[in-house]
A and B are shown apart, each in its own frame.
Chain A
């Protein structure tokens, strides 16, 4: 929480006041900052956005490479076609993402928040636009305070125009994951279906609102991850910390004044506060608003260089390292601790399991549905028949021919043609009659097995259990 300016020790003497529980949001003006961590953030901005904006344009097998086709209920991912039955992989993906988040957070704090979260990434892009159009922090504050003039109107209009254009493109890109991008382009702007238009504008609207106006409030008041990532911290977690022992007492100083003033290294220039995207003062210790973006480090290091002090008054370090004066090597040694090993083990195991499972996945699914109404039937020759509907789902992108076999009861055989052709990525239903001699099996339910095997691919085969009723 943003602590008031009075140190806690004095707070006892401050009389309580009755105030509104809600107050108008104070806009934060963030100063632009350059530096090592900011460069990394921009690397990730480019990386994530090239992937996000670029993916829908990729082609694969004469179709869009990544397409979540809701109407067909198929997810195309490059060479992979996932069906609704594969929703299991979505669960795995979420588990992998969750453990990756746990692991990164336990090692180095809110890395996701600071570098990869869409809220951070889009805010960063929008702020870049703001900086180019309206100028630096001081000019922006002046412009906001100024009366409306033609220049102010022109700058504001230009900024919002660029923001809205970016947002609309973002919304368009999102929809392009669900409707092929070529169709979308042709349909623009008035041929879009209601839902396409809705989601495009919905996503664009939220992008504009959250990256343009709400910014740090999303992290402070809305985001659940922001709240629970602190739980994963421990004393060996790397977090961005102001080294109070080295910095305090703070104070301005002239150059080449000796240290006899008993001042710490902090010159109280306030740069770390004005570059902070959530508007906090890192020197008050770790707070839940801190998204671990490293902007304050980038702001502080050049100042330290100027006054001839070592860099890293504000730096990535751990609670233990501060308390026990660890060297970087010691910090590295403390990374391997039980919690990290467990996270890593689980993450690696689940990732491997998912990859293996996807690699050996049989691109054929069969559901055997016994006729509900017919129990058993006597054929003309006295043998017993049961009827089944087989739903055969060919999840490859080529037409396949399958051979059907049945076993499990002596003399069981399929009546009629024991093979079936299914088109590419098609769900085909066939009715199969199984006939057995009248004297096999038990009265009542018996287990039989259907073997469905592709003619020209040995590895595509499925064995499904079913029930055969004897009268």
Chain B
């Protein structure tokens, strides 16, 4: 109600609101007296014999009406409603929401603080903490990683033992708190042929069927084009830059020759958002423990 561009609309609302209430008062006063002929009906007849007289109302009805008018003015004085007037209480929907969130936060703070003081591995072993963690995960993480945390195309599976940035508790916590930017630069300048060689080589690394001649050429290109800079001489990947391990069966985007060629040609950009600001340390800690616990079965 407070964002009118011109003052006209503010006045427009004020006039209509107060005018309506005052009109109600006027109605009460004007209609307070009636011409009344004792014994005369109002002249309406229903169902052949049903008629109505014009008898006075009990006085307390008037007072009820007056009370509603007073209530309206008191309400408009306390709460926003009269154009740009903010109300004496300063109430806003946003403020109320914040207050309620703060109330809940204050109520659950001791619980979160208890876990925050514990080591991630210890939290991961706590049944109640894991129930909380699961609920947090289903609220904030499942949109990308799935409700079962096993990811999707472009979103890592969190339940296996393969980690882009490392699966130790502090590394997981850093990933969640600060986010990650995974960048695979495009290498289309290598030419289509070399890219195909590379793709075959990459497939051979994890034992997928490949053209052995192309794979051999790809092995050389792997070194000369600088792939090993990130993926390591053996293609085992590197946690420091989040380069995937190319020798296992885990594929973030897919393992077909076409998909790998596409990855090499165009590169990939992956982003894990940073949650520290939004969720706060305590929830990040709990989520780290939950994600850590997910991968423990896979070892």
Contacts and interface: CB of A to CB of B under 8 A. Distances in A.
A257 interface: no
A334 interface: no
Contact of A371 (B40, B58, B146, B254): B146
A25 B148 CA distance: 70
A25 B58 CA distance: 5
Interface string A380-394: 100001011100000
B33 A19 contact: yes
Contact of A24 (B38, B41, B59, B150): B59
A433 B50 CA distance: 69
A306 interface: no
Contacts of A375: 152
B268 interface: no
A326 to B, nearest CB: 19
B52 interface: yes
B39 A7 contact: yes
A16 B40 CA distance: 9
Contacts of A385: 150
A315 interface: no
A221 interface: yes
Given A21-B32, A387-B146, A377 B152 contact: yes
Contacts of B147: 371, 387-389, 431
Nearest to A379: B150
A25 B57 CA distance: 8
Nearest to B60: A25
Given A21-B56, A24-B59, A373-B143, A6 B152 contact: no
A389 B138 contact: yes
Interface of A: 1-4, 6-8, 10-11, 14-25, 217, 221, 230, 371-375, 377-378, 380, 385, 387-389, 429, 431, 433
A3 B37 contact: no
Contact of B249 (A10, A19, A25, A380): A380
B39 A19 contact: no
A22 B61 contact: yes
B31 interface: yes
Interface of B: 31-41, 50, 52-53, 55-62, 138, 142-144, 146-148, 150-153, 249, 254
Nearest to A14: B38
Given A4-B53, A374-B152, A433-B148, 7 more contacts: A3-B53, A8-B39, A14-B37, A20-B34, A21-B31, A22-B62, A23-B59
B138 A22 contact: no
What DSSP secondary structure best describes chain B's contact surface? mixed
30 contacts: A2-B53, A2-B55, A3-B53, A6-B39, A8-B39, A8-B40, A16-B35, A16-B36, A16-B37, A18-B35, A19-B33, A19-B56, A20-B56, A22-B59, A23-B56, A23-B57, A23-B59, A24-B59, A221-B61, A371-B142, A371-B147, A372-B143, A373-B146, A377-B151, A377-B153, A385-B150, A388-B147, A429-B138, A431-B148, A433-B150
Given A373-B152, A389-B138, A14 B39 contact: yes
Nearest to B65: A22
Nearest to A220: B58
Nearest to A429: B138
A388 B147 CA distance: 7
Given A8-B41, A17-B35, A373-B143, A387 B61 contact: no
For A11, A230, A377, A389, the residue with the greatest tally of chain B CB atoms inside 10 Å of its CB is: A377
For A24, A221, A375, A387, the residue with the greatest tally of chain B CB atoms inside 10 Å of its CB is: A387
B55 A25 contact: no
Nearest to B151: A377
A3 B39 contact: yes
Nearest to A2: B55
B58 A23 contact: yes
Contacts of B249: 380
Contacts of B35: 16-18
Contacts of B59: 22-25
A219 B17 CA distance: 34
A374 B157 CA distance: 12
Contacts of A387: 146-148, 150
A423 to B, nearest CB: 13
A2 B41 CA distance: 11
Contacts of B56: 19-23
A18 B34 contact: yes
A388 B142 CA distance: 11
Contact of A221 (B39, B57, B146): B57
A4 B32 contact: no
Contacts of B62: 22
Contacts of A230: 50
A132 B56 CA distance: 33
For A11, A21, A389, the residue with the greatest tally of chain B CB atoms inside 10 Å of its CB is: A21
A17 B152 CA distance: 85
B146 A374 contact: yes
B251 to A, nearest CB: 9
Contacts of A431: 147-148
Nearest to B153: A377
Nearest to A25: B58
Contacts of B151: 377
A17 B58 contact: no
A8 B138 CA distance: 76
Given A2-B53, A22-B58, A23-B59, A377 B150 contact: yes
A374 B254 CA distance: 15
Contacts of A374: 146, 152
Contacts of A380: 249
B46 to A, nearest CB: 10
Nearest to A15: B37
A388 B153 CA distance: 17
For B55, B62, B144, the residue with the greatest tally of chain A CB atoms inside 10 Å of its CB is: B55
Given A2-B53, A14-B39, A19 B58 contact: no
B34 A21 contact: yes
Contacts of A388: 147
Contacts of B31: 21
A241 B242 CA distance: 93
Nearest to B149: A431
Contacts of A429: 138
